[in-house]
Amino acid sequence: MLCPIMPTMPRAVKQITVILSAIFLVSWNAPSYGFGSEAHRIVGHIADRYTCAGTREALERLTPGENLSVAGLWADRIRGDKSWLHAQPWHYMNVPDDTDIADREISADGDVLLAIERFRAELEDQELSAEKRANALRFLVHFVADIHQPLHVGRRGDLGGNTIDVRVGRDKTNLHAYWDSYALEQVVESSGAYAARLVRKGYPSETDGRAMEPVTWADESKEYRDEVYACPLDPDSGDAVPDAAYRARALEIIDLRLYQAGLRLAQTLNGIFCSAEAGSSPRPARLSH
């Protein structure tokens, strides 16, 4: 019996198919390493409300036409640029449960805490070129937000929650992406309106000066991990399935962390560009458990 002859696929079509398949597989399996764009916009909008005149003037000089809600998106936009592949580890840090932030094993590639310290110093250095300081500003804006997301101070074993499947109705995501963006995407509200609502909440102020130390921001994120991982599991699939209580608590934590990130970002920039005004903004308290 003769086998039917399959039509031959043109070579060019084959090549395109292979390329598209590879792109799909990479994008499907690539872990999420940055707070979602909506979160970065919200942080930027909040920070814009607390910047002093000197900071606003400096931002206009360094990144003309970009407010902080726009500047914070740049570090994610360059992730596909081969010349910036070395920057990917700067978005997060891995810290075991039984290890203090200060005692963590520091990767030779760097981490988000080191990146914040580096780019704050570069932004302060007026001997650097305007382009280098502009990029330092964009990185700093982005990483101050990232370090406030609990799973950016994550566990190496599950890639900061990227390997933990999450199911919400028919939607499938992972734990990291849930905290990065999915939870916020369920709230139908513009980033500007969301930021304004968080400002109106009037979080109580902090008097502890440690609140402005980036290592404190990392400590706070790590402290939330028990709650982040306490998502109910489906006994059959093993997927994490957030119930109403988990979803509500997640948004409480996310809201506070967004507000803290925005306010602390503004205070950090004010400390660089107009230190006389830097201490004038109120500080939010940590949400009680």
Q: Per residue of the chain (289 residues), what is the pLDDT tens digit?
A: 433 333 444 554 444 444 434 433 333 334 444 677 999 999 999 999 999 999 999 999 999 999 999 999 999 999 889 999 999 999 999 999 999 999 999 889 999 999 999 999 999 999 999 999 999 999 999 999 999 999 999 999 999 999 999 999 999 999 999 999 999 999 989 999 999 999 999 887 665 667 889 999 999 999 999 999 999 999 999 999 999 999 999 999 999 999 999 999 999 999 999 964 444 444 443 443 3
Number of Cβ within 10 Å of residue 214's Cβ equals: 20
What sign has the CA pseudo-torsion 70, 72, 74, 77? negative
Number of Cβ within 10 Å of residue 217's Cβ equals: 26
Residues in a beta bridge with 167: 172
What per-residue confidence (pLDDT) applies to 23? 37
DSSP strands (E only) in the chain:
93-94, 153-154, 165-168, 171-174
Give the phi and the psi of residue 188 in degrees, each rounded to 5.
-85, 95
For the chain, the domains span 35-280
Q: Token pair of 116, please?
A: 């914040």
Q: Is 113 in contact with 93 (CB distance < 8 Å)?
A: yes
Report how far residue 194's alpha carbon sits from residue 40's, in angstroms, rounded to the nearest whole number: 12
What per-residue confidence (pLDDT) applies to 207? 53
Nearest alpha-carbon partner for 104 in 116, 92, 88: 92
Number of Cβ within 10 Å of residue 235's Cβ equals: 7
Q: Is 32 in contact with 176 (CB distance < 8 Å)?
A: yes
CATH superfamily of 35-280: P1 Nuclease (1.10.575.10)
147 DSSP assignment: T
Q: Residue 154, CB half-sphere, CA atoms under 13 Å: how many?
A: 30
